[in-house]
Amino acid sequence: MKFSSLFKIFSQPPTLKGKLVAISIIVLFLLNCFSLVFVNLAATFFVTRYINFSFLGEPFPENFYTLSSTSAVEGSFPTPSAVIQFVTPSEIIEARRLAQSTLQNLRVFSIGLLFFTTVLGGIGIYFLSRRTLRPLEEVSQTAKEISARSLERRLSFPESADEVKALADAFNTMLERLEKSFRDQERFSSSVAHELRTPLATMRTNLEVVLQNKEATAEEYQEMGKTIEKALSRLEEIVENLLLLSKGEKELERSWVFLAPLLEEIRHELLPLSREKDVRVLVEAERNTQCFADEALLFRALKNVIENGIRYNRPGGYVRVTYFQEEEWVVVKVEDNGVGIPADEQDSIFEIFSRGAQARKLYKEGTGLGLAITRLIVELHGGKIEVQSSPNAGTAFKIFLPSI
Amino acid sequence: MRILIIEDEFDLAKALAKGLKNNGYAADIALLGEEALQKIEFNEYDLAVLDLNLPDIDGLELCKTLRAWRPKLLILILTCRKRLKDKVMGLDMGADDYLAKPFHFQELLARIRALLRRDLPTKEPILQVGDLKLDPSSRTVFKGNRRLELRNKEFCILEYLMRRAGEVISQEELLEHAWGEEELDFFTANLRVHIHSLRKELNDDAQNPKYIETLPGVGYRLKRGEN
Ligand SMILES: Nc1ncnc2c1ncn2[C@@H]1O[C@H](COP(=O)(O)OP(=O)(O)OP(=O)(O)O)[C@@H](O)[C@H]1O
Ligand SMILES: [Mg+2]
């Protein structure tokens, strides 16, 4: 029927289906050949023996009966004792000729049958393999159609439970993971874009407004310069932090770090801020605690948390830092009695660019990257960070670092 | 024409207000959604430039509220979100136009001019009343072939009168639409001064006006000159 589609199989580079069909046809052909040879040999043997026996009284071999069917045992074949006849030479010749032509026919017939079954079997195999391999084609078709824009598509094979189904399932779970990481990526870049565009827009508008004004005074230029400088520093800070966020584990430069001097340094660096906000930073020193960490990154991680405690606080408030060994962890606890975090914001504070409503008022210039960076650094070290907070009462962060 | 800038980035809002004032608009700033609602309640604005990303109210919600409150207010959305969905949502919530940040200030001006044209009977970019021609984009006014030298406020007043040519405009209305909040100190006296110098520039006679009529106790009217 579809000659062209048959033709196509041979013109294409070998597909799984093509290979399957070819191998099956070859095997079928060889099997048929064997049976052809066997049938012909057996027929020759049997006919010769039969003629010899019938006409010349030569006995059948003993095992002939066991080879042939039961009907032969029961006597439809002439048994040795039943055959006593007189035969002329011409009859023998006639009988041999008859046998020859029968064998000839058999040969022609069986060769014909060989080709017939091979072709028929081949066609059968072709359709069978097409049927079994169709799901695979669907898999590859869907895979081709899925792009970054249509990651929500899935394969579905409800009817079967075979290897193809297993493949489809594996494929689907892979798609799920891909989709999730792709969505995360998308969210990340769209929020990055948002955060970068705001200072960019400020810079551009300020520039253009002053440039457009032919009568702009030196004062106006001055003011523009200051505004642009401010926006620029913000951009720099965001970019700096984003670069920090793309750090991988490989880049850690670990050494043994004593926590006491590290925290003292942080406290010292935050002194101007804590004076301005009138918030005391208390570090309860414990001389011997150390952990195996990247000093610069650990500094950054702890500073972010302590800085938050100062910023989201009230005048006269405090931030208390304690640290101690707990089972296999070194725990650093940063508590404050500041504004606290409402329950509905607590889940998202570690995400990038997420900022609380209170925080926006108290510290307008914040980027919302601080805790995301802290969490990343802590996790790169194999640790974890937890938060407990009650609004208007205070917040406690617990940072767990592996002690070795 | 009076414009309200609703934008939480103070430095951006300030620059926008300044730029708009330089271009003959009266501009006020609202840094929060709440503030914007208050200002819209008490003042008459012709157009609002609305940043979608406000700390207190969702920008799209605010857009919807403004639209419901002030059906005639023109709304131009500023957004950092470049996704198609946000633009479509914004327009569907009643905004008239949008612009993605960062934008060129020139483009913002052009879009504002285009939006302000919408309410006019003709969509001509140049306003024309009698032999007066006002081009909002180059901010030039011609009387016949003579170019008039107008100061910002005079231009602003004339533009408003020309947009509403033939209608009686009360002093309050003129003040509302030509003066920003911070400028509303000297009030009517100030307005009279400006109308006076505008007439002088137009070679108009207050007693027998060809252009600006004074209707005592009611307001002003720009004559639809037949010439
Ligand atoms: N000690 C704290 N008390 C109250 N709220 C806090 C505290 N620490 C964090 N938060 C909340 O978590 C949010 C995220 O904090 P994060 O440090 O990541 O960003 P940020 O402080 O807003 O900005 P920056 O990146 O500049 O530090 C804050 O905006 C604030 O709402
Ligand atoms: Mg912070």
Q: Which chain B residue has the Cα nearest residue A195?
A: B80
**pLDDT greater at residue A23 or residue A305:** A305
Q: What is the mean pLDDT of residues A43-54?
A: 79
Q: Which helix (H) or strand (E) holds A323?
A: strand A318-326
d(CA A72, CA A59): 15
**pLDDT greater at residue A166 or residue A292:** A292
B162 closest CA partner among B142, B131, B134: B134
**Domain covering B127-222, topology:** Arc Repressor Mutant, subunit A (1.10.10)
pLDDT of residue A74: 47
Please state which architecture CATH assigns to domain A163-247. Orthogonal Bundle (1.10)
pLDDT of residue A159: 65
In chain A, where are the structural domains located?
3-132, 163-247, 254-402
Whether B96 shows a pLDDT value over 70: the answer reads yes
Q: Hey, are the CB atoms on B9 and A200 less than 8 Å from each other? A: no
pLDDT of residue B215: 86
**Domain covering A254-402, topology:** Heat Shock Protein 90 (3.30.565)
**pLDDT greater at residue A322 or residue B120:** A322
Lowest mean pLDDT of A64-68, A117-121, A130-134, name the range.
Answer: A64-68
Q: Map residue A3 onto helix, strand or coil.
A: helix
**pLDDT greater at residue A387 or residue A134:** A387
d(CA B189, CA B196): 10
Considering every ligand atom shown, identify the ligand nearest to the alpha carbon of residue A360 and give its number.
1
A198, A209, A230: residue with CB nearest B15: A209
A394 pLDDT band, cuts 50/70/90, is very high
DSSP alpha helices (H): ranges in A278-396? 295-311, 343-346, 357-362, 370-380
Q: Map residue A11 onto helix, strand or coil.
A: helix
Whether A182 shows a pLDDT value over 90: the answer reads no
Whether A395 shows a pLDDT value over 80: the answer reads yes
Q: What is the mean pLDDT of residues A247-253?
A: 78
Whether B94 shows a pLDDT value over 90: the answer reads no
Q: Does the interface predicted TM-score (ipTM) exceed 0.90?
A: no
Residues 6+ apart with CB under 8 A from A129: A17, A20, A21, A24
pLDDT of residue A5: 63
d(CA A223, CA B210): 45
Q: Are A314 and A393 in contact (CB under 8 A)?
A: no
Q: What is the mean pLDDT of residues A282-304?
A: 90
pLDDT of residue B227: 45
Q: Hey, are the CB atoms on B103 and A201 less than 8 Å from each other? A: yes
Highest mean pLDDT among A33-47, A63-77, B101-115, B183-197: B101-115
pLDDT of residue A71: 43
Flag whether residue A206 sits within 8 Å of chain B, measured between CB atoms: yes
Supply the mean pLDDT for chain A: 84
Q: Is the peptide bond prior to B102 cis by the omega test (within 30 degrees of 0)? A: yes
Whether A60 shows a pLDDT value over 60: the answer reads no
pLDDT of residue B195: 87
Q: Which helix (H) or strand (E) holds B28?
A: strand B26-30
A364 pLDDT band, cuts 50/70/90, is confident
Q: What is the mean pLDDT of residues A123-143?
A: 82
Q: Map residue A113 onto helix, strand or coil.
A: helix
Whether B63 shows a pLDDT value over 70: the answer reads yes
Ligand 1, atom 9, residue with closest C-alpha: A308
Q: How is residue B58 annotated by DSSP?
A: B
**pLDDT greater at residue A136 or residue A110:** A110
B140-159 pLDDT, tens digit each: 899 888 888 888 888 888 98
pLDDT of residue A12: 62
pLDDT of residue A84: 46
Considering every ligand atom shown, identify the ligand nearest to the alpha carbon of residue A237 and give its number.
1
d(CA A152, CA A170): 15
A333 closest CA partner among A348, A323, A346: A323
Q: For testing the chain A interface, which of B8, B12, B152 should be mutated: the one with the most A CBs within 10 Å?
A: B12
Q: Hey, are the CB atoms on A230 and B11 less than 8 Å from each other? A: yes
Region of residue A327 (left: phi > 0; alpha: psi -120 to 50; beta: else): left
Whether A149 shows a pLDDT value over 80: the answer reads no
Residues in A closer than 8 angstroms to B101, CB to CB, are 197-198, 200-201
Flag whether residue A183 sits within 8 Å of chain B, measured between CB atoms: no
A338 pLDDT band, cuts 50/70/90, is very high
Q: How far is A315 from chain B (nearest CA, A)?
A: 24
A82 pLDDT band, cuts 50/70/90, is very low
Q: How far is A238 from chain B (nearest CA, A)?
A: 16
Whether A62 shows a pLDDT value over 60: the answer reads no
A280 pLDDT band, cuts 50/70/90, is very high
Q: How far is B213 from chain A (nearest CA, A)?
A: 33
Ligand 1, atom 12, residue with closest C-alpha: A349
Whether A352 shows a pLDDT value over 50: the answer reads yes
Q: What is the mean pLDDT of residues B3-14?
A: 93
Q: What is the mean pLDDT of residues A133-143?
A: 78
Supply the mean pLDDT for chain B: 86
Q: What is the mean pLDDT of residues A317-343?
A: 93
pLDDT of residue A102: 84
B82-93 pLDDT, tens digit each: 677 777 888 888
Considering every ligand atom shown, identify the ligand nearest to the alpha carbon of residue A349 and give its number.
1
The ligand 1 site (C-beta within 6 Å) comprises A 304, 308-309, 312, 336, 338-341, 345, 349, 354-356, 359, 366-372, 395
**pLDDT greater at residue A256 or residue A55:** A256
pLDDT of residue B175: 84
- CATH code assigned to B2-121: 3.40.50.2300
B163-201 pLDDT, tens digit each: 888 889 888 888 888 887 777 665 555 788 888 888 888
Ligand 1 pocket test, pick from A239, A274, A351, A355 with the greatest ligand atom count within 8 Å of Cβ, gives A355
Whether B112 shows a pLDDT value over 90: the answer reads yes
Q: Hey, are the CB atoms on B105 and A205 less than 8 Å from each other? A: yes
Distance A311 CA to ligand 2 centre (A): 8
Highest mean pLDDT among A72-81, A248-257, A326-335, B123-132: A326-335
Residues 6+ apart with CB under 8 A from A269: A303
Task: Using a pLDDT cut of 70, give the percent of chain A over it.
Answer: 86
Highest mean pLDDT among A243-247, A278-282, A350-354: A278-282
pLDDT of residue A75: 46
In chain B, where are the structural domains located?
2-121, 127-222
pLDDT of residue A255: 92
d(CA A369, CA A351): 8
Whether A153 shows a pLDDT value over 90: the answer reads no
Cβ atoms within 10 Å, residue A279: 23
